[in-house]
Amino acid sequence: MESRMTITCIKDLQRLARRRVPKMFYDYADSGSWTESTYRANESDFARIGLRQRVMVDMDNRSLATRMLGEEVSMPVALAPTGLTGMQHADGEMLAARAAANFGVPFTLSTMSICSIEDVAEVSSRPFWFQLYVMRDKDYISRLIDRAKAAQCSALVLTADLQIIGQRHKDLINGLSVPPRPTVATALNLATKWRWCAGMMRTQRRTFGNIAGHVKDADNLSSLSKWTASQFDPSLSWDDIKWIKDKWGGKLIIKGIMEPEDAEMAVRAGADAVIVSNHGGRQLDGAPSSISALPDIVSAVGSSTEVHMDGGIRSGQDVLKAVALGAKGVYIGRAFLYGLGAKGEQGVTQTLEIIQRELDTTLALCGLRDIHDVNHRVLREGTYPLAGSASLWASSTRSTE
């Protein structure tokens, strides 16, 4: 039945991933914090934005190609940094990086990846970006940055919104661990996921590849988990950015920006780009959706740095809407994880193909041929957030639910 399933959209890949990925890891990717209101808003707020259909215009010779952070991309889309990607599918980060490189879009590797920086560097045919969590152990962070430089990563993505971890109920209920702890419930669930288990039997990559072997006295599951849980640095501040930027020496992106004041601080700290992001609704539940926060941040800093965004992107139409509101690029996280969990590297490629096809078709039906010509005029008036009134827009749309 599964092998004959016709894949038409990201939702189809999500359904297949749910069947094939162990519950604790599927839930890890497909959940938000606390009541999950922000997680839901990320997606639903995109759905409320309407498009203007245009006809009898030349739609031939369309182009989605553009640049993100000065790098040529086949469309304004990058793969977001996602933790535990190698638990959605064996060697997941390596497969996703290879698919992204072949498609001509950036791949961003998480600090909390299963495959290491060096693993990904071996298989990616184009420079990838590395996402950094700043931890208490600054010597480890310094060495991690050196490893990213040695792997010729072309940008460093500093995540600013995970100084402490949000309240994620599903992870607590499932007893999330890497690798899975041998419990009766886990064993029963894994017994139904034979493809996943077969893949994991063929790889040695089953723990945090960027940490294991690089931290003193963290050489087994218990000590590694304890070290990781204690390392997120709640004292991280804008004063720390200078030494990170100086140490890195390359392009710096700051991720997790949701307020214009923080965007301005990021620019002053030397950010080459900021990512409007609420961590996929996995941190502060009750925060606005990323798309509703985007216009204010574009208005505040869009002339001085690139503004990117993530959160809720499930289609090519969502990409077009974000670009229309000022984003120079978007990041997909869950969308590519669904593809990876469903079909491995082929599934990631299929995710990108679906988004590219939907983006191209929507561009044409809005009467345009070049992604650079997309602006707010493709959106139906009154259906999208405006700078200065985004919170009011979000509030009014919530009241209709």
What residues contact 41, with CB distance under 8 A and at least 6 apart? 281, 288, 289, 292, 312, 394, 398
For residue 152, what are the β-bridge partners?
Answer: none
Predicted local distance difference test score (pLDDT) of residue 228? 81
Predicted local distance difference test score (pLDDT) of residue 89? 98
Catalytic residue among 89, 169, 214, 279: 279
Give me the amino acid identity at 213: G
Nearest to 308 by CA among 329, 326, 291, 324: 329
Q: Which two tokens stand for residue 232?
A: 């997120």
Determine the Cα–Cα distance for residues 215 and 327; give it in Å rounded to an integer: 38
Annotated binding site: 28, 81-83, 110, 131, 133, 159, 168, 255, 277, 279, 282, 310-314, 333-334
3-class secondary-structure state, position 342: helix
| Residue 136: domain span | 2-398
What residues contact 158, with CB distance under 8 A and at least 6 apart? 131, 132, 134, 241, 244, 252, 253, 254, 255
Q: Could you confirm whether 279 is annotated as catalytic? A: yes
pTM of the predicted structure, to 2 decimals: 0.95
> Pairing state of beta strands 329-332 and 306-310?
parallel
Predicted local distance difference test score (pLDDT) of residue 222? 66
Predicted local distance difference test score (pLDDT) of residue 181? 85
Determine the Cα–Cα distance for residues 104 and 359; give it in Å rounded to an integer: 15
Q: Is the dihedral of CA 212, 244, 166, 310 positive or negative?
A: negative
Predicted local distance difference test score (pLDDT) of residue 224? 76
Predicted local distance difference test score (pLDDT) of residue 392? 72
- Which helix (H) or strand (E) segment is 365 a member of? helix 334-365
What residues contact 329, with CB distance under 8 A and at least 6 apart? 66, 68, 69, 73, 76, 77, 78, 306, 308
Contact 369, 360 (CB under 8 A): no
Determine the Cα–Cα distance for residues 274 and 253; give it in Å rounded to an integer: 5
3-class secondary-structure state, position 216: coil
Predicted local distance difference test score (pLDDT) of residue 395? 66
The verdict on whether omega for the bond into residue 260 sits within 30 degrees of 0, i.e. cis, is no
Total domains in the chain come to: 1
Instruction: Establish how many alpha carbons lie within 13 A of residue 146's alpha carbon, considering only the half-sphere containing its beta carbon.
Output: 7
Annotated binding site for FMN: 81-83, 110, 131, 159, 255, 277, 310-314, 333-334
For residue 255, what are the β-bridge partners?
Answer: 159, 275
Predicted local distance difference test score (pLDDT) of residue 371? 98
Nearest to 273 by CA among 250, 293, 243, 242: 250
Predicted local distance difference test score (pLDDT) of residue 370? 98
Q: Which two tokens stand for residue 193?
A: 């996921």
Per-residue model confidence as pLDDT tens for the chain (401 residues): 565 789 999 999 999 999 999 999 999 999 999 999 999 999 999 999 999 999 999 999 999 999 999 999 999 999 999 999 999 999 999 999 999 999 999 999 999 999 999 999 999 999 999 999 999 999 999 999 999 999 999 999 999 999 898 999 999 999 888 888 889 999 999 999 999 999 999 999 999 999 999 988 776 666 777 788 789 899 999 999 999 999 999 999 999 999 999 999 999 999 999 999 999 999 999 999 999 999 999 999 999 999 999 999 999 999 999 999 999 999 999 999 999 999 999 999 999 999 999 999 999 999 999 999 999 999 999 999 999 876 677 766 555 45
Contact 276, 253 (CB under 8 A): no
CATH of the domain at 175: 3.20.20.70
What residues contact 352, with CB distance under 8 A and at least 6 apart? 77, 99, 100, 103, 105, 336
Predicted local distance difference test score (pLDDT) of residue 3? 57
Annotated binding site for glyoxylate: 28, 133, 168, 279, 282
